[in-house]
Amino acid sequence: MDAILAYCLGNPYMLAAMLIVGLVLLVKGADWLVDGASAIAKRFGISDLVIGLTVVAFGTSMPEFVVNMVSVAEGSTDLAITNILGSNIINTFVILGVTALIWPVTSQQRSRDFDIPMSIIAGVLVFACVAVDSPFGEDCRGITRMGGIILLVMFCYFLYNTFRHAKDHPDEVEPAEAVKPIGIGLAVTLVLAGLAGLVVGGEMIVKSAVQIATNLGVSEAIIGLTVVALGTSLPELATSAVAAFKHNSDIALGNVIGSNIFNVFFVLATSAVVHPLPAYEGINLDAWTAAVGSILVWLFVKTNKARQVKRWGGAILLLIYAGYLTYRLMQC
172: Cβ contacts below 8 Å, ≥ 6 apart: 108, 109, 110, 165
CB contact at 8 A, 102 and 309: no
**Whole-number percent of the chain with pLDDT over 70:** 88
Closest CA to 162 of 233, 275, 265: 265
Radius of gyration of the chain (CA): 19
The answer to whether 84 and 223 are in contact (CB under 8 A) is no
What do you get for the CA distance between the two ends of the chain, in Å?
Answer: 34
Q: How many CB atoms lie within 10 A of CB 89?
A: 27
CA distance 108 to 89: 21
- What is the pLDDT, as a whole number, of residue 86? 92
The Cα–Cα gap between 202 and 70 comes to 7
- Looking at 169-228, list the stretches that DSSP marks H as alpha helix, in order from N- to C-terminal side: 184-216, 220-223
Q: What would the pLDDT profile of 156-194 be if each residue is shown by its tens digit?
A: 999 998 888 777 776 655 554 556 677 888 888 888 998
pLDDT attached to residue 319? 97
- Mapped to the 3 state alphabet, what secondary structure does 296-328 carry? HHHHHHHCCCCCEECHHHHHHHHHHHHHHHHHH
Question: Which residues make beta-bridge pairs with 143?
Answer: 277
Rounded distance, CA 236 to CA 243, Å? 10
- Mean pLDDT along residues 233-254: 78
Q: What is the domain extent for residue 291?
A: 2-330
The residue length of the chain stands at 332
Q: What integer pLDDT is reported at residue 6 of this predicted model? A: 59
Q: What integer pLDDT is reported at residue 109 of this predicted model?
A: 83
pLDDT in tens, 221-242: 888 888 888 887 877 787 788 7
The pLDDT confidence band at residue 9, using thresholds 50, 70 and 90, is low
Spatial distance between the Cα atoms of 248 and 10, rounded to a whole number of angstroms: 45
| Closest C-alpha among 288, 224, 282 to residue 77 | 224
Residue in 146, 119, 97, 115 with CA at minimum distance from that of residue 314 = 97
In the chain, the number of structural domains is: 1
Task: Give mean pLDDT, residues 235-254.
Answer: 78
Helix (H, G, I), strand (E, B), or coil: what is residue 106? strand
Q: What's the angle, vertex CA 52, arms to CA 299 and CA 309, rounded to 5? A: 20
- pLDDT of 2 above 60: no
pTM: 0.86
Query: What phi-psi label fits residue 280: left (phi over 0), alpha (psi between -120 and 50 degrees) or beta?
Result: beta
Phi, psi for 105 (deg, rounded to 5): -95, 115
What b/e string do you get for 202-220 counting C-beta neighbours within 10 Å, with b at 16 or more?
Answer: bbbbbbbbbbbbeeeeebb
Task: Name the pLDDT band for 134 (thresholds 50, 70, 90).
Answer: low
Going along the chain, which residue ranges are E strands?
105-106, 142-143, 277-278, 308-309
Helix (H, G, I), strand (E, B) or coil at 61: coil
Question: What is the CATH classification number for the domain harbouring 205?
Answer: 1.20.1420.30
User: What is residue 318's predicted lDDT score, i.e. its pLDDT?
Assistant: 96
What string of DSSP letters covers 243-269?
Answer: HHHTT-THHHHHHHHHHHHHIIIIIIH
**Window from 43-47, 120-124, 220-224, 238-242 with minimum mean pLDDT:** 43-47
**pLDDT at site 214:** 78
pLDDT of amino acid 44? 77
Q: pLDDT tens digits, residue range 262-306?
A: 999 999 999 999 999 988 888 899 999 999 999 999 999 988 888
